Amino acid sequence: MRAQFVFHEVWIGLRRNLTMTIALIVVVAISLSLLGTGLLFVKQVDQARSYWQAKVQLAVYLCNKTLVTPSCTQNGPVTATEVAAIEGQLKSNSQVASYVYLNQTQAYQQFKQEFAGTSLVKLAPSNAIPATIEVRLKNAEADVTQLAANMGGMQGVDSVEQNSAILDKFYRLLDGARNAVVVIAIILIIAAILLVANTIRLSAFNRRRETSIMRLVGASNFYVQLPFLMEGLFAGLIGWVVATGLLIAVKSLWLNGLQGYFPFNIQLSTTDLVEVVILAMVIGLALCGATSFLTLRRYLRV
């Protein structure tokens, strides 16, 4: 009977403040979805970094007949002696963890595997991909620039590319988008807190007669406050459900869609999405529950 009474009071409160309740649900949903999007961005960037850190950190491209860069034009295609000298330099360098030499055929086959399904494979002839030495470093952040400079001046070397330098702009773009999303989410969360407090306060004011009667018949503080507390939690729960749908759409239509522009499979897993959704639920319910409770302590003193 008590549970039926509590749910009846919750329904009355939601119906009386329907417009504010809808506004609250919308604000909670948007703020949680933006916060979740920021968290998904964090996971996406971390996975991208882990993916590239596990791969080659330095690529040494060797001269061939088709390259017309100044170093290759002056010295001609790389010779076996020059390749041996480059490998000897890498073997003796304490900064190098490992390296792999790929001749022109092997480099082209790897290129086709990595860029399979893209137009690059059709556009690039086999002789356009030079022989390559792929290098992994013990401490890429500290050593990659120095080693790239040393290798770039050796005979037979066309160019040296750093994966970190190529990806830094991409990482900064993702980090900037993530930070912007999180800042907007925090602003909306503050707005949601104020809206929850205002909704609960208005609901308590509209039902001040009912709460007075409950006091007279000896109802406990918790029993008087419970319907209002559940209103806030209910709005937070519905907002979280809407935010969950938005986060699924963000992952499926946006983050997964980014893979169309990159040939590497670093998509977020379903587990990543579930973790963010659960965290969003905890934050949403805690936000609405705590705000409702603190508001009731001020406006429903029993």
- In order along its 302 residues, the chain shows pLDDT tens digits of 455 655 565 566 566 667 777 877 888 888 888 888 888 877 877 777 676 666 657 888 898 888 777 778 887 888 888 889 989 988 888 888 888 898 888 888 888 877 766 666 677 777 778 888 888 887 766 667 777 888 877 888 888 877 666 666 666 777 777 788 778 878 888 888 887 787 777 766 666 666 666 666 665 666 666 777 777 788 888 889 999 999 898 888 877 766 655 555 567 788 888 998 999 899 888 888 888 777 767 655 54
Please give the pLDDT value at position 302. Answer: 45
* Rg of the chain (C-alpha set): 30
* Whether 29 contacts 246, CB under 8 Å: yes
Same structural domain, 152 and 191: no
CB atoms within 10 A of CB 202: 15
Same structural domain, 204 and 128: no
Same structural domain, 137 and 182: no
Same structural domain, 68 and 79: yes
* Whether 225 contacts 43, CB under 8 Å: no
Same structural domain, 44 and 96: no
Q: Among 115, 141, 164, identify where a domain stops.
A: 164
Please give the pLDDT value at position 206. Answer: 65
Please give the pLDDT value at position 242. Answer: 92
Please give the pLDDT value at position 245. Answer: 92
Domain membership of residue 128 as a residue range = 54-164
Q: Which of 186, 172, 143, 156 is nearest to 39 (CA)?
A: 186
Q: Which of 199, 224, 227 is nearest to 213 (CA)?
A: 224
Please give the pLDDT value at position 262. Answer: 55
Q: How many structural domains is the chain composed of?
A: 2
